Amino acid sequence: MWHEKPAVIIDNGSGHVKAGVADEEVPRCVFPAVVGKPKHAAMMPGSDKKDFYVGEEAMGKRGVLCLSYPIEHGIVKDWSEMEKVWHHTFFDALRINPEDQACVVSEAPMNPKKNRERMVEMLFEKFSCPAAYIVIQAVMSLYSSGRTTGTVVDSGDGVTHTVPVYEGFALPHAIQRLDLAGRDLSEYMIKILHDSGHNMTSSSEKDIVREMKETTCYVCKGDWKTEMQSAKEHPTEFEKIYSLPDGQKVALGSERFRVPEVMFDPMIAGRELPGLHQSIYRCIQDCDIDLRKDLLKNIVLSGGNTMFPGIAERLESELKALAPQKINVKVIANPQRRYLVWMGASILTRLSSFQNLLITKAEYDSVGHYHKTQAPWLPSNSVHLPLPARFTAKVLQAGMTFLLGTAPSLALAPFLDAAEGSVLSMACKSCRAAFDKECLWADLIVKHFEPALQHYCHAASDLDVSQAVGPCQQHDVTSRPGVVGLLEQLREGGARQAYLTLASTNCEPFVLQPRARLILEIHELHDWNRHQRRLLHLRQAESISASLCDHAAGQRLREAIVSESLELIALQAVVAGGGKLARPSTKLQQGVDWNPDMEQSLVKILERRAQQRRNWFRKQREFLLQDLRWEDWSTN
């Protein structure tokens, strides 16, 4: 069976395709992502005449072929040519039958939805793959470095992306794209070589220039103009001889550092673009303030265009000059970073949860046609997307991030389905707030908690029920209507037992509705000691008041508060209860009556703990993330 065999991994690059089988350490084959067609059929000698040639074979016959690259700047532009590349990958390079193994294919960040649909369609319909999974290149690069949070600088042959990743998920609103990469540097090197008397313009000569660039160039540590002056004064110290295939020798001096310098100062090549270090810093600045520290100290380089010696040290120095003082900046340059994407995908396939991530042929046959007609997270009023929860949740999170920013989307997206996300996003567009004053959350609590807990009451054994609910009440659990009735019968600490039972049953209503899980966890707040609970309530009451009714205390203290929260639903109930944990069914009205004594104590406590609050919040967030980690429930 296919699920017993290691998956096939294909990393589609603008310049090269890296492919192999998941149980290998490095890609089995690496070949140019190029397709060549004969200029004239009569010019093809011998008996090996073909309609097209792919990879190294095409490069070897480039003199009599018209070459085309199906991937431009990271995006597939010619799908018929891409099919030829994949056919060559499966049957010629790897020599495997794609019908026998699952396939993992990489895509560039912010890949157009129609491209992703076409990619999956081709894998299932053209190559009959039994299962497939599409991975984002930058995230895989981070996985291969042993991290789940960081900034990935992925610079290959066609495009450079700077992608912030938080807990394994790319943050699309902050991704920076730079249309400046290895191919552009090769073109610039051809230009400066021409200025020095070396005319290299044919396709074979361009390939020589690329190799020359990769073997001789380096990134200078400081100002390149100072390096240029030193090269003029001491030319022999910078000179390196490169031997051409025909025996001629080319002396390279300042060209060795002038070419990579284009990545830091594109105006050298006449390109009005930000430098690589500026693009990285802008990317991190677009992220939530509480993520920036982790993103700056976990910058991972990936792709062949980052292989220049000295690039990591130069980036660190440039970013330290841009970042605030005493902020740690760390650039990680893996020696095998040319293959980081493939290696990260290989690591992913070895996880126990990988089988749950795969889109099977059966799933595609049942829901695939919806991908062609519907928007990914804003369905039409008449049709609800019958997609598995893992599809809806991921595309919804991307949409919420775009509308609300990083932190709110991390807090809100797990608790919305596509239709509710549509409603909330429209409210956000108009009022620029994470909540509207009608309070969508009160309805969400009832809507999504009830099915899961009722399923627990029906599916759990008598022993499980008796442990979570009093013995005299267990027969009434399924008969009492409403969520409140069910919750009232939970013993203190019973929420934990209910959750464990639900998790062990693997029941669909619970697994696909993590909102229910959070409600159970909210009721675990009763088991916290009183001091921790009061701090939580006071800290977040200000944030809720500012969001819902612009209370004066919220306005005064807003700058001192961490705005994001994973406990938003619970805290809404706190505010509704006047500082006490209210029932989840309680609905907030447009205004909230505040107790003056509570407000005074709130102000005093917040002012006293202003310096400690961020660290405390981070610990609380990590506590909840440990039990509500996105990948846990999205892959169940």
* Three-state SS at 623: helix
Domains of the chain in sequence order? 178-337 (3.90.640.10), 442-526 (no CATH), 528-634 (no CATH)
Mean pLDDT, rounded, for 577-601: 39
Q: Is 345:106 a contact under the CB 8 Å cutoff? A: yes
Which pLDDT belongs to residue 86? Answer: 92
Looking at residue 289, what DSSP letter applies? T
Which pLDDT belongs to residue 151? Answer: 92
Proportion of the chain above pLDDT 90, given as a percent: 10
Which pLDDT belongs to residue 38? Answer: 84
**Of 112, 118, 36, 35, residue with least CA distance to 73:** 112
The helix (run of H) or strand (run of E) holding residue 17 is: strand 16-21
**Of 273, 260, 269, 272, residue with least CA distance to 217:** 260
pLDDT class for 368, splitting at 50, 70, 90? low
Can you say how many angstroms the Cα of residue 177 is from the centroid of all Cα atoms in its chain? 14
Q: Give the pLDDT confidence of 105-126 residue by residue, as tens digits.
A: 998 887 887 888 888 888 988 8
Q: Are strands 176-178 and 249-252 parallel, antiparallel or unpaired?
A: unpaired
Residue 237: pLDDT over 50: yes
Which pLDDT belongs to residue 43? Answer: 56
Residue 582, judged by CB atoms within 10 A of its CB (0-12, 13-18, 19+), counts as middle
More confident position, 228 or 400 = 228
Which pLDDT belongs to residue 630? Answer: 34
Whole-number Å distance between alpha carbons of 213 and 211:
5
What are residue 82's phi and psi, to 5 degrees? -65, -35
pLDDT class for 18, splitting at 50, 70, 90? very high
Mean pLDDT, rounded, for 219-238: 80
More confident position, 260 or 531 = 260
Residue 459: pLDDT over 50: no
- Residue 77 tokens read as 């532009």
Sequence-distant (≥ 6) Cβ neighbours of residue 407 within 8 angstroms: 288, 290, 291, 563, 564
Which pLDDT belongs to residue 469? Answer: 36
More confident position, 504 or 2 = 2
Mean pLDDT across the chain: 66
DSSP string, 399-423: HHHHHH-HHHHHHHGGG--HHHHHH
Sequence-distant (≥ 6) Cβ neighbours of residue 73 within 8 angstroms: 14, 158, 159, 179, 181
Mean pLDDT, rounded, for 186-212: 82
Which pLDDT belongs to residue 48? Answer: 61
Proportion of the chain above pLDDT 70, given as a percent: 56
Whole-number Å distance between alpha carbons of 613 and 605:
10
Residue 462: pLDDT over 50: no
Looking at residue 95, what DSSP letter applies? -
Q: Give the pLDDT confidence of 483-498 residue by residue, as tens digits.
A: 334 444 444 444 444 4
Which pLDDT belongs to residue 10? Answer: 93
Q: Is 389:274 a contact under the CB 8 Å cutoff? A: no
Mean pLDDT, rounded, for 441-451: 40
Q: Look up tokens 């690496």; give the residue.
A: 30
Sequence-distant (≥ 6) Cβ neighbours of residue 368 within 8 angstroms: 120, 121, 124
* Three-state SS at 81: helix
Q: Give the pLDDT confidence of 555-572 residue by residue, as tens digits.
A: 433 333 323 232 333 333
pTM confidence score: 0.58
DSSP string, 169-218: EE-GGG-EEES--HHHHHHHHHHHHHHTT----SHHHHHHHHHHHHHH--
Can you say how many angstroms the Cα of residue 222 is from the centroid of all Cα atoms in its chain? 33
